[in-house]
């Protein structure tokens, strides 16, 4: 297989050694969390699996948000997209810098308050209470499952491609299985509680790796061209589209920018952090940690594609850009650290997906609809079982890889956001939002997004979905019944009846 570059056997060996050292650290941390939780009862284990016990520190909360959102799209697919499309992709990604602040600081703050009032442990539990509708939470839960599974599969594709490039093209499936196995181990050992410990290590590795590769790329450009201007002149002559701001139609650009910014806010894995802390001081510090870390990583990785093109314009696939840079420009040991950084982004994101899928099936669907008296012990076992099932399905999907990883990621993000964006914001901040309007807005937004994607609409599908979902919610909210006054007061009043705050 012609990659457009070569990796020496010595470099391959060193990268593999560093990768396995990183893997050992992650597995040991997961085992430690499992050991430390050995005396917890079933209720504490469920709370630890879903929310980390609700008392995590600022560093853990901030880095959970960053590592959950980054994914292989940020560390592998994003650089590949900018390598193929240019700085137009970077401009879209730059819009995402606000999402940590909005997810934790505005949406997250209100959700955390309501979570404590109602005792909700999941996003679906919370909004089932807001709209008093099992139909709403059930349909939304199904959309989470439908879009998170291919999203998880895309992460394993990114991991498999990385592994195959640095070890030999015949090892793609081994890479997928290895990534999946490691992720599954530390997810099963403690859920969010385990992720909170591991996210600190993963976040640090990601930051070190992106700074290293950016500095190395800059040094290579100065060695080859003498200046950044000369390097960009080479790109302009060789592939002018990479520097052209008119590569995409305006509406398509706006839609893609929405996918990378506002559409990230209602993603279930982005909202997980809102249930993990218990003080405003932790929230404020977590916002700072999250914004600084996320900006460093995304600014670096989203803009590196055209720079990498100047280093080597012959890479066969965009998803191989990062392996090319680390194998060509970095010392072997540092290349292993960069691989570990990409692996960290993949594993942390997928772990959060598995937790959401398992809790959606067990707590939000089965327990809510069929067996409300389910014991905490049975619920905990169910979480374990469906985490394994979700991993198995994602692995099967990853066995049939797509050439462009970021395309799958963008589709999944859009699908998750299309139906939940307005029910989320209106539910939190608009007193007139009604259950019927939320159900219709969710269904219409999701349906329009899928239909517009299938029909290759000239307008970005997310813009159409947002427009339809928002209009439907506003219109129906003015002509359908609101929730009971007691529930309304829980959400929008300072004084409320505790009996209405309980989740059925």
Q: What is the per-residue DSSP string for 434-454?
A: -HHHHHHHHHHHHHHHHHHHH
For 344-387, give the DSSP string. HHHHHHHHHHHHHHHHIIIIIIIIHHT-TT--HHHHHHHHHHHH
172-181 residue pLDDT tens: 888 888 888 8
Nearest to 273 by CA among 250, 258, 291: 291
Q: In angstroms, rounded to a whole number, what is the distance separating the alpha carbons of residues 361 and 356?
A: 9
Mean of pLDDT values over 39-65: 61
Q: Average the pLDDT over each of 14-28, 65-79, 372-386, 452-466 and give the range with the smallest value.
A: 65-79
Q: Is the dihedral of CA 264, 99, 289, 302 positive or negative?
A: positive
Measured CA to CA in angstroms, residue 327 lies from 44, 162, 323 at distances of: 45, 12, 6
Predicted local distance difference test score (pLDDT) of residue 437: 96
28 or 309, which is more confident? Answer: 309
For the chain, give every domain's residue range.
9-35+42-400
456 or 83, which is more confident? 83
Distance CA 385, CA 355 (A): 11
- Which are the contacts of 378, defined by CB distance < 8 A and separation ≥ 6? none
Please tell us whether the domain made up of 9-35+42-400 is placed in CATH 1.20.1730.10: yes
- Please write the tens of the pLDDT for every residue from 284-322: 888 888 888 888 888 888 889 899 999 999 888 887 888
Distance CA 136, CA 438 (A): 7
Do the beta carbons of residue 345 and residue 71 sit within 8 Å?
A: yes
Tokens of 501: 């705050």
Give ∠ CA 32-70-427 in degrees, rounded to 5. Answer: 100
Q: Across residues 351-361, what is the average pLDDT?
A: 85
Give the mean pLDDT of 50-72. Answer: 69
pLDDT of residue 29: 75
Beta-carbon contacts of 176 under 8 Å, excluding residues fewer than 6 positions away, are 156, 157, 159, 160, 163, 395, 398, 399
Check if the beta carbon of residue 140 is closer than 8 Å to that of residue 419: yes
Q: What is the pLDDT of residues 384-416, one digit of tens each?
A: 898 899 999 999 988 877 665 557 777 888 888
- CA count, 13 A, side-chain hemisphere, 472: 26
Helices and strands (H, E) in the chain, number of each type:
25, 0
Q: Are the CB atoms for 391 and 180 separated by under 8 Å?
A: yes
* Residue 195 scores a pLDDT above 70: no
pLDDT band at 50 (very low <50, low <70, confident <90, very high): very low
% pLDDT > 90, the chain: 20
pLDDT tens digits, one per residue of 324-338: 888 888 888 888 887
Query: Angle CA(382)–CA(385)–CA(390) in degrees, nearest 5?
Result: 120
452 — phi, psi (to 5°)?
Answer: -65, -35
pLDDT in tens, 227-273: 989 999 999 999 999 998 888 888 888 888 888 888 888 888 778 77
pLDDT band at 481 (very low <50, low <70, confident <90, very high): very high
pLDDT one-digit tens code per residue, 431-452:
999 999 999 999 999 999 999 8
Contact 252, 85 (CB under 8 A): no
Per-position DSSP letters for 153-165, written without gaps between them:
HHHHHHHHHHHHH
Q: Smallest Cα–Cα separation from 130: which of 98, 100, 107, 146?
A: 107
Mean pLDDT throughout 186-203?
69
Q: Across 67-81, 172-186, 354-368, 470-484, which has the greatest mean pLDDT?
A: 470-484
* pLDDT of 208: 85
Which of 171, 122, 196 is CA-nearest to residue 348? 196
Task: Band the pLDDT of 282: cuts 50, 70, 90.
Answer: confident
How many Å is the Cα radius of gyration of the chain?
22
């Amino acid at each position: 297989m012609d990659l457009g570059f070569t990796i020496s056997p010595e470099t391959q060996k060193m990268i593999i050694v560093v990768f396995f050292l990183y893997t050992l650290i992650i597995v040991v941390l997961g085992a430690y969390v499992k050991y430390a939780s050995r005396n917890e009862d079933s209720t504490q284990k469920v709370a630890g699996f879903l929310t980390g016990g609700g008392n995590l520190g600022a560093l853990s909360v901030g880095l959970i948000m960053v590592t959950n959102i980054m994914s292989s799209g940020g560390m592998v697919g994003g650089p590949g997209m900018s390598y193929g499309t240019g700085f137009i992709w970077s401009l879209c990604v730059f819009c995402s810098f606000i999402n940590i602040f909005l997810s934790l600081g505005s949406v997250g703050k209100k959700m955390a308050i309501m979570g404590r009032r109602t005792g909700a442990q999941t996003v679906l539990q919370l909004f089932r209470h807001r709209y008093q509708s099992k139909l709403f939470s059930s349909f939304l839960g199904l959309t989470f499952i439908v879009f998170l599974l291919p999203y998880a599969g895309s992460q394993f594709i990114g991991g498999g491609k990385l592994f195959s490039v640095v070890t030999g093209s015949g090892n793609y499936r081994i890479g997928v299985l290895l990534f999946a196995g490691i992720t599954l181990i530390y997810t099963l050992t403690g859920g969010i509680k385990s992720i909170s410990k591991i996210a600190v290590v993963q976040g640090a590795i990601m930051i070190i790796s992106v700074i290293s590769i950016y500095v190395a790329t800059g040094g290579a450009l100065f060695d080859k061209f003498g200046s950044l201007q000369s390097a960009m002149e080479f790109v302009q002559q060789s592939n002018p589209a990479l520097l052209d701001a008119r590569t995409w139609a305006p509406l398509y650009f706006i839609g893609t920018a929405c996918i990378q910014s506002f559409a990230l806010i209602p993603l279930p894995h982005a909202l997980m952090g809102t249930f993990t802390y218990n003080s405003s001081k932790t929230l404020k510090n977590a916002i700072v940690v999250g914004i600084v870390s996320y900006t460093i990583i995304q600014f670096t990785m989203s803009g590196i594609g055209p720079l990498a093109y100047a280093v080597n314009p012959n890479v066969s696939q965009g998803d191989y850009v990062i392996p090319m840079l680390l194998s060509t420009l970095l010392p072997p040991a540092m290349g292993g650290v960069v691989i570990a950084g990409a692996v960290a982004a993949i594993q942390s994101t997928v772990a959060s997906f598995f937790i959401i899928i398992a809790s959606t099936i067990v707590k939000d669907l089965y327990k809510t609809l069929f067996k409300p008296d389910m014991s905490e012990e049975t619920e905990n076992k169910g979480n374990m079982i469906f985490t394994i099932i979700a991993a198995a399905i994602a692995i099967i999907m990853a066995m049939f890889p797509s050439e462009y990883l970021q395309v799958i990621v963008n589709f999944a993000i859009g699908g998750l956001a299309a139906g939940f964006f307005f029910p989320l914001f209106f539910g939190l901040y608009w007193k007139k939002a009604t259950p019927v309007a939320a159900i219709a807005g969710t269904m219409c937004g999701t349906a329009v997004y899928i239909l517009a994607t299938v029909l290759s609409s000239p307008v970005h599908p997310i813009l159409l979905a947002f427009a339809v979902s928002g209009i439907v919610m506003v219109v129906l909210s003015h002509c359908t019944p609101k929730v009971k006054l007691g529930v309304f007061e829980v959400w929008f009043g300072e004084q409320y009846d505790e009996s209405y705050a309980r989740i059925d």
